[in-house]
Amino acid sequence: MVSLLEMPETASPITMNEPAPRPNAPVERASIEIEHLDFAYGSHQVLHDVTLDIPPRAVTAFIGPSGCGKTTLLRCLNRMNDLVDGARITRGAIRIEGIDINQPGVDVVDLRRRVGMVFQKSNPFPKSIYDNVAYGLRIAGISRRTLIDEAVERSLRSAALWDEVKDRMHVSGYGLSGGQQQRLCIARALAVEPEIVLMDEPCSALDPIATAKVEELIRQLKTRYTIVIVTHNMQQAGRCSDRTAFFYLGKLIEVDDTTKIFSNPGQRQTEEYITGRFG
Amino acid sequence: MTEQKHILATFDEALGSLRNSVLMMSSLTERSLERAIAGLFQRDDEACAIAIADDEEIDQFEKQVDHDGIDLLLRFQPVASDLRRVVSAMKLSSNLERMADQATNIARRARKLNQHPALPEVELIRPMYAHAMAMFKDAIDAYVRSDVDQARSVVPRDEALDELNRMAGRRLTERMAEDPAQLRGYLNLIFVSRCLERVGDHATNMAEDAVYAVAAEDIRHQQSAAGVRPR
């Protein structure tokens, strides 16, 4: 296996078209570049020619109606779809820091360490709070207790959970509230020091207070991480994200600064969706 | 502007109701200005009294529009063109209320003027009134029809109204020196002239709000930003 960081940039086996024109306002420097991406589950194509740059150290929100392909695209970014039978990219490429992540030889475990993910429903392991956060480090082969202790505290602090759990690190993660469990999952993702954090509707099961805490956490995290969030909550996309991408029927309709999208979108379909005049 | 219906019919109803309140306010304001000016030109104290009384109803409409606008923002959190429609309706309402205040001021000055012999210099007011009302009607028409070009065309017309106001002021000041016995009358006409100049300012604001509502473009203060003397 070759680490993603060690992959030569010129080794892409995927035949690429000419560089895609960037839809709408381009970003200055992309952390993730998605070019002409087609994706299918078996014979059912769900993403069509998606070209999108995702800037570093900023929050990019994917919005769109159910079935528009936003979660599928999110899961492409750390190859989570590899686990789905028949799911495959049929054209195009995804590059992270210039490296095509779908090249043969890319270490998927290393990719998923660098591109962490937080899911719609919090999914702590049936372990203690400490062991939940330490899990990824141990998998990565780190065994020194002091290193793990430091990483666990750092991650819990980054996830704004440390003060709430520092005196009960060895109780089960299941004993936490829904909002705390979700922040525990964020801490678990941060423990392995990713560069990118993917969030798939991270607040959909949380009450407004827990949602506000996660949103504030996202705001703090974006100074250190590239964040991509899928959300059905328009207000959340407006509050949390710097850029917003609107998808419909597997196509990227529009991407721009969030303020622009929610004040004066360029495309009629975007306007109709965000104002509730859809379908 | 988006024409398709909102999934929530209550939202479209609330937005429609807000717009109707603004249009009703606009009609009342126009009528109030017409009555105030009739009171001046026709020396009709009753018209002046009605214009002054109209103000109360317009004030209530302003409060209603504010209440309904805030209610809409709270309940539906509108975005994009919907948000602009709510914000512009509330701003239009504020300008209409202040315009109606000018109608009241004109009516009060007219009542004072009517207590004395007619001054021929009242004719200086006529072109100003015609110009200000044309600006007002065009601004409202542009808002109603979402016509950005018409709204834009209103803005530069304010300069001509300002010039008419300056000319009237100069002429009336001269007359004050020539005929000090009528000083109060000339002073009242200067105030009426200023009121109409303010009506033009509010019409300009409304035209700018109409542009914002339709095109999401803020065209306010562009002359002053470019170094041109502000209004």
What single letter denotes the amino acid at residue B78?
P
Nearest CA in chain B to A272: B2
Sheet with strand A99-100: strands edge to edge: A44-54, A32-41, A87-96, A99-100
Task: Compute the average pLDDT of residues B84-101.
Answer: 97
| CB-based contact B2 A238, cutoff 8 Å | no
Residue B126's pLDDT band, with cuts at 50, 70 and 90, is: very high
- Residue numbers of A between 207 and 236 with CB closer than 8 Å to B: 234-235
User: Residue B147's beta-bridge partner residues?
Assistant: none
| Chain A nearest C-alpha distance from B172 (Å) | 48
In sign, the C-alpha dihedral spanning A175, A179, A185, A186 is negative
Nearest CA in chain A to B87: A263
pLDDT, position A26 = 54
Q: Which of A262, A265, A272 is opposite residue B4, by nearest beta carbon?
A: A272
Provide, as residue numbers in chain A, all residues whose Cβ is less than 8 Å from the Cβ of B80. 262-265, 271, 274-275
Provide, as residue numbers in chain A, all residues whose Cβ is less than 8 Å from the Cβ of B7. 276-279
Report whether B104 contacts B111 (CB < 8 A). no
Provide, as residue numbers in chain B, all residues whose Cβ is less than 8 Å from the Cβ of A265. 80
Task: Compute the average pLDDT of residues A190-212.
Answer: 91
| Chain A nearest C-alpha distance from B219 (Å) | 15
pLDDT, position A95 = 97
Residue A11's pLDDT band, with cuts at 50, 70 and 90, is: very low
Instruction: For chain A, give the mean pLDDT.
Output: 88
Nearest CA in chain A to B3: A277
The half-sphere exposure of A15 on its side-chain side, counting CA atoms within 13 A, is: 1
pLDDT in tens, A223-268: 999 999 999 999 999 999 999 999 999 999 999 999 999 999 999 9
Task: Compute the average pLDDT of residues B53-79.
Answer: 96
| CB-based contact B80 A278, cutoff 8 Å | no
| CB-based contact B8 A277, cutoff 8 Å | no
**Angle between helix B80-113 and B125-145 (nearest 10):** 160
| Chain A nearest C-alpha distance from B199 (Å) | 30
Task: Compute the average pLDDT of residues A193-213.
Answer: 91
Residue B149's pLDDT band, with cuts at 50, 70 and 90, is: very high
Tokens of B220: 């306010």
Q: Which of A271, A278, A279 is opposite residue B80, by nearest beta carbon?
A: A271
Residue A25's pLDDT band, with cuts at 50, 70 and 90, is: low
| CB-based contact B81 A271, cutoff 8 Å | yes
Task: Compute the average pLDDT of residues B42-71.
Answer: 97
Tokens of B184: 């109060």
pLDDT in tens, A125-173: 999 999 999 999 998 889 999 999 999 999 999 999 999 999 999 999 9
Task: Compute the average pLDDT of residues B84-95.
Answer: 97
Q: Which of A262, A268, A278 is opposite residue B79, by nearest beta carbon?
A: A262
Residue ranges of alpha helices (H) inside chain B are 9-41, 45-76, 80-113, 125-145, 148-154, 158-178, 183-215, 222-225
Residue B4's pLDDT band, with cuts at 50, 70 and 90, is: confident
Provide, as residue numbers in chain B, all residues whose Cβ is less than 8 Å from the Cβ of A272. 2, 4
Q: Which of B2, B84, B216 is opposite residue A277, by nearest beta carbon?
A: B2
Bigger pLDDT: B94 vs A105: B94
pLDDT, position B223 = 67
3-state SS, chain A, equals CECHHHCCHHHCCCCCCCCCCCCCCCCCCCCEEEEEEEEEECCEEEEEEEEEEECCCCEEEEECCCCCCHHHHHHHCCCHHHHCCCEEEEEEEEEECCEECCCCCECHHHHHHHEEEECCCCCCCCCEHHHHHHHHHHHCCCCCHHHHHHHHHHHHHHCCCHHHHCCCCCCEHHHCCHHHHHHHHHHHHHHCCCCEEEEECCCCCCCHHHHHHHHHHHHHHCCCCEEEEECCCHHHHHHHCCEEEEEECCEEEEEEEHHHHHHCCCCHHHHHHHCCCCC
pLDDT, position B230 = 45
Residue B95's pLDDT band, with cuts at 50, 70 and 90, is: very high
pLDDT at A201 over 70: yes
Bigger pLDDT: A23 vs B11: B11
pLDDT, position B172 = 97
3-state SS, A168-223, equals CCCCEHHHCCHHHHHHHHHHHHHHCCCCEEEEECCCCCCCHHHHHHHHHHHHHHCC
pLDDT, position B146 = 95
Complex ipTM over 0.85: no
Residue A1's pLDDT band, with cuts at 50, 70 and 90, is: very low
pLDDT, position A5 = 38
Q: What percent of chain B has pLDDT over 70?
A: 95
pLDDT in tens, A204-223: 888 898 899 889 999 999 99
- What letter would DSSP give residue B221? T
Tokens of B16: 């429609």
pLDDT, position A16 = 33
